[in-house]
Amino acid sequence: MAGRANVAWPAAKRRAPDFALQDQTGAPISLRGNRGRVVILTFIDPVCTTLCPLEAKTLDRVEQNLSGAERPAIVAVSVNPWGDARRYFQADARKWRLPASWRWAVGSRAQLSRVWQAYSIGVRIRRFRAVGITTHRVDHTEAAYVIDRRGFERALFVYPFSAGDVEGAVRQLEHSA
């Protein structure tokens, strides 16, 4: 499974931890709500200007390269609750050329922390003041999980990864279903 995944699991061995958050529009979002579809679950800072935009563009290429029926759901769990504002999500969609189907999973820091822990995503938040304004610097694990239609983790890609490798993992799941 998944030629260049950092980790791969066989079918029905590792259930993906579910969560209940909200998406960028306020609608409920969960893994259970995506059952029946392959899901790419990633962890991104919506105000990042370094690696997150690159990872987002890579995942966008995955979606572009797959036909309608093969396209996975892409869910980006925020790693920066202070950056979870509609204006940032809209700016990301434009700048990063995200597809309309891209969904952010947002919540309180406590809610998000539980999801980060469940997926072994390291998140380090440092507060600092600049010009009298408190801001947050967020460092985190850049990773994407491929989750099968039944809700099991099948592959983990740690960034940098290629769109072709993730695409291959998704196609393999689509053709084995």
Please determine, for residue 176, whether its predicted confidence score (pLDDT) is greater than 80. no
Hey, is 153 helix, strand or coil? strand
Given 3.40.50.720, 3.30.360.10, 3.30.365.10, 3.40.30.10, which CATH number is that of 7-176?
3.40.30.10
pLDDT of residue 69: 84
What's the rounded Cα separation, in Å, for the pair 7 and 100?
29
Residues 6+ apart with CB under 8 A from 21: 28, 29, 30, 77, 105, 106, 107, 111, 112, 115
Close Cβ partners of 130 (under 8 Å, ≥ 6 residues apart): none
The full length of the chain comes to: 177
Show me where the domains of the chain are located: 7-176
Confidence of residue 136 (pLDDT cuts 50, 70, 90): confident
1 pLDDT band, cuts 50/70/90, is very low
Tens digit of pLDDT for each residue in 49-107?
999 999 999 999 999 999 888 899 999 999 999 999 999 999 999 999 898 889 999 99
Q: Which residues contact 138 (CB under 8 A, 6 or more apart)?
A: 45, 48, 79, 80, 83, 123, 124, 125
Indicate the Cα dihedral angle 99, 152, 6, 53, nearest 10°. 20
Report which DSSP code applies to 100: T
Each residue of 158-171: pLDDT tens digit? 999 999 999 999 99
The token pair at 140 is 């985190």
Band of pLDDT at residue 147, cut at 50, 70 and 90: very high
24 has a pLDDT exceeding 70: yes
3 pLDDT more than 70 = no
pLDDT band at 177 (very low <50, low <70, confident <90, very high): low
